[in-house]
Amino acid sequence: MSQVWSGAGRASGLGQPIAEVMPAPGERLFASAHVGRDDLFWHPQQWLQADAAMPSATSQDTPTVFVVDNDETVRKSLELLFRFAGWEPETFGSAREFLARPRVFTPSCLVLDVSLPDMSGLDLQELVADRVDMPVIFIAGYGDIPTTVRAMKAGAVEFLTKPFDDDVLLGAIRHAIQRSQASLGHEAKIQALRDCYASLTPRESEVMTLVASGLLNKQVGFRLRISEITVKAHRGKLMQKMKADSLAALVKMAVGLRLAPTMNP
């Protein structure tokens, strides 16, 4: 195995440099995290197939793993680990730096330290709570029960305390990315529905809402004070615009759009 030693990022009080290892042919990269020391010992070992678990992707849709930690050594070590696992890492030294980064709409997750220089990791978690497509994984030098409970109740995927096993962290990230992909896929479907719904005329929207609520054409006509034939015409057009091949499909779309009748019987 060939090693390239970097003089930057020595662990505090230990004087040990970070080793950036380029694996020899047939070898994999392995990292270990230790409490109280951030130097890394790299050695060839059978690798947990984290990269094999993820489908091949272009640079445009490669999952992004954000890291927010005020320890530069930790950031560098995790950046190497995640890059060799097949993900695109982005590291930040503070919550403010991370919040200044524009939101991404590709699969992602956030590896977040509890203790940050400008605000706590828990506070940052609250600020990005609306970003359900970016699950949060906490790492901490220590973790008390109230902190862990608060993080998990707020939706964290995992709360790891050092020393944590690299395989456990990588497994948590794979799970988080799967959740991110599912969330983005769901949002894409909802947006497609919104686009179709936006193409409806105001009258077609009214007919769709009432039909999806279970009313017959005659009842819809009575509600809207139009003829049953006119209702059928609107219904045919809106079914085409919504790309609905059945009433059941239209009802599911209405549920997804959270449509509800606004007129009293």
CATH number for the domain spanning 231: value is 1.10.10.10
Whether residue 122 is found in the same domain as residue 216: no
Q: Rounded to whole angstroms, what are the CA distances from 79 to 65, 75, 82, 176? A: 9, 6, 5, 17
* Beta carbons within 10 angstroms of residue 94's beta carbon: 16
Q: What pLDDT is recorded for position 60?
A: 55
Q: What pLDDT is recorded for position 61?
A: 79
Say how far apart CA 73 and CA 249 lie, in whole Å: 53
Average pLDDT, the chain: 80
Q: What pLDDT is recorded for position 164?
A: 83
Residue 45 lies in a domain: no
* Beta carbons within 10 angstroms of residue 119's beta carbon: 14
Whether residue 229 is found in the same domain as residue 180: no
Whether residue 133 is found in the same domain as residue 207: no
- Range of weakest confidence among 10-24, 68-82, 98-112, 138-152: 10-24
Last residue of a domain, one of 167, 191, 215: 191
Q: What pLDDT is recorded for position 138?
A: 96
Say how far apart CA 62 and CA 57 lie, in whole Å: 6
Average pLDDT over residues 28-39: 39
User: Which domain covers residue 153, as residue numbers?
Assistant: 50-191
* CB-based contact 95:113 (threshold 8 Å): no
| Largest CA-CA distance found in the chain, in angstroms, rounded | 85
- 161-209 pLDDT, tens digit per residue, is 877 889 999 999 999 999 999 999 999 999 999 999 999 999 999 999 9
Whether residue 185 is found in the same domain as residue 205: no
Identify the H or E element spanning 88. Answer: strand 88-92
Average pLDDT over residues 219-232: 96
Say how far apart CA 117 and CA 108 lie, in whole Å: 24
Average pLDDT over residues 102-120: 93
114 pLDDT above the threshold of 90: yes
| Structure-model confidence comparison of residues 262 and 265, the more confident one | 262
Q: Which two tokens stand for residue 46?
A: 């059978």
* CB-based contact 227:176 (threshold 8 Å): no
Average pLDDT over residues 96-115: 94
Whether residue 120 is found in the same domain as residue 179: yes
Q: What pLDDT is recorded for position 59?
A: 43
48 pLDDT above the threshold of 80: no
* CB-based contact 189:223 (threshold 8 Å): no
Q: Is pTM, for the whole model, over 0.75?
A: no
Q: How confident is the model at residue 253 (pLDDT cuts 50, 70, 90)?
A: very high
Whether residue 232 is found in the same domain as residue 112: no
**Which conformational region is residue 82 in: left (phi greater than 0), alpha (psi within -120 to 50 degrees), or beta?**
alpha
- 10-22 pLDDT, tens digit per residue, is 333 333 333 343 3
Average pLDDT over residues 60-68: 90
Measuring CA to CA, which residue among 87, 4, 64, 89 is closest to residue 40?
A: 4
Q: How many domains does the chain have?
A: 2
33 pLDDT above the threshold of 50: no
Q: How confident is the model at residue 104 (pLDDT cuts 50, 70, 90)?
A: confident
- Range of weakest confidence among 5-14, 108-117, 203-212, 239-248: 5-14
Last residue of a domain, one of 157, 191, 225: 191
Say how far apart CA 256 and CA 251 lie, in whole Å: 9
